[in-house]
Structure 1
């Protein structure tokens, strides 16, 4: 599961895509000297992830791994023989912890006895898994009852979570990446830029000299990355982290070629960042408007943001994203909550914070 959001924004007319078509699944395309784009297939509606292969000295550095599945391993075997021509993998860099990005991390580093590079938060998150067993544990059940779901709806999540879960082959050690660290790979300097909100400490790689940005799931050209609350940390404010990340990425050059984890590489970084900000601002404004008349639960507010929920997976993601926007507004002092039975009800604050004000003016 990549954890991508339910919304799709039609923005192709305002972004520039240097390649009309991606490489075929399992094949590569050179996007810059020594930088190969590998299209790895996924067994989802979102049917691919983009991995990036960086030529370095007598071997290769790999950015992200694909799912831990036989299909992914078959693709890698072809890459080892036909693309790498027997040259070794010297290091694996993982942008973040989600299954499609890190599933084969341990397999790759054990095979080549090479280091894994990632942020501390993402390495820790590799070991957080959904609760096991036939019945949800009390914290999982309570989390969704607090959102206003019925017990039968909560129980429906359990088999769905089991079906969509993929094991991550996690390494026993890693080398930590921090904000502004610099990696010298193949004569090119990559600066580490950390984003947050979609995952704890998402690593992006920025080459200022060559105007390249390996963006992972942090910046995608068409779909929006999910920003969710889960039962693991119900009081978190990942949307606050996400919006702060968007502002930080605006300090990068607008001339970069963005190399995303899904869809095609594109130009137009600042325009896309502005669209993502406006997308979440619209969600926040919609929630404030909906709460002007009465207090409501997360379950009651969810269809306002996500009117086309088509099953348990959509509901799971939509509830998490709706609560992320609610928690942001609570932290801003716009909303308060009261416990009504087993569910929280949210209302506009009586302190005067009845109108959400966008975080900043975006000039695109």
Structure 2
């Protein structure tokens, strides 16, 4: 039986944590609300189902490991699989999704795609994880492997929920621009309003971010009377920069945390609005299952601070095949080629770990 384990590195940390479940299989849940009574490392899919349940790894063994500053280039030979069909599938999906935006059925909807790469040799997932940690210090990096989910690597900038007790934090992360040329030379820490004037946001990006922030504020209002919103700010993730708003809040009742997660997931940043309608449309019409891409993952603990991150910039590892996932938010004025280019830029995060 495949061992269940998770390795994760919090943003800006100089060490990572290894969690191993040494007996039995991870706990399987069918609702986010059930998380209120459990703890461990959580791996949740976009669509919760019998085939893709929420998994909770029991922390039988916990070990903190210091990160090496060395970043060895892996230098593997990679080949792409079915590029032409992949592009045509995206085009068909875009047309179907976009029509529902133009006619006013949806305010926003997220379209995702998959991209397969084959390697000439098998590479240790842990080696890819360590390289991702060194390449993306601002992101949450995790490697999760279970008999149910298979093996997944992610490097994500988006917090779904973090905190403890009644004090919590989340964010709205939307709007995407690729950094190029001189823009790559400037550091843009979270919360910064200074990018040396090099970034000009389109109205489409600003509108997308406002949609996500408004939804999250409305969600939190159901559970908290003490909420502070800051932003939007610029937040860098690899060669991508996003618009970000932060929300700090105090729960009226700490026992309702599972219900809050249920309301937040999936956020408009990975799904759309109205939530129920766009979620159902994605599940029925999107080319290829998302599986654990655009779900969430992270340490979920009772006695200390929890960190759940939206599972973006994902790679599913199967022997020598590496299946990467990326998506982007569509609005009525979205242009297909620009949206395709945005997913290409996001795929570069996972491609980059191969050197």
Fold similarity call, TM over 0.5: no
- Larger helix share, 1 or 2: 1
- Larger strand share, 1 or 2: 2
Question: TM (normalized to structure 2)?
Answer: 0.23
Query: Relative contact order: is structure 1 or structure 2 higher (C-alpha 8 Å, sep ≥ 6)?
Result: 2
Looking at CA atoms only, which structure, 1 or 2, has the larger radius of gyration?
1
Question: TM (normalized to structure 1)?
Answer: 0.22
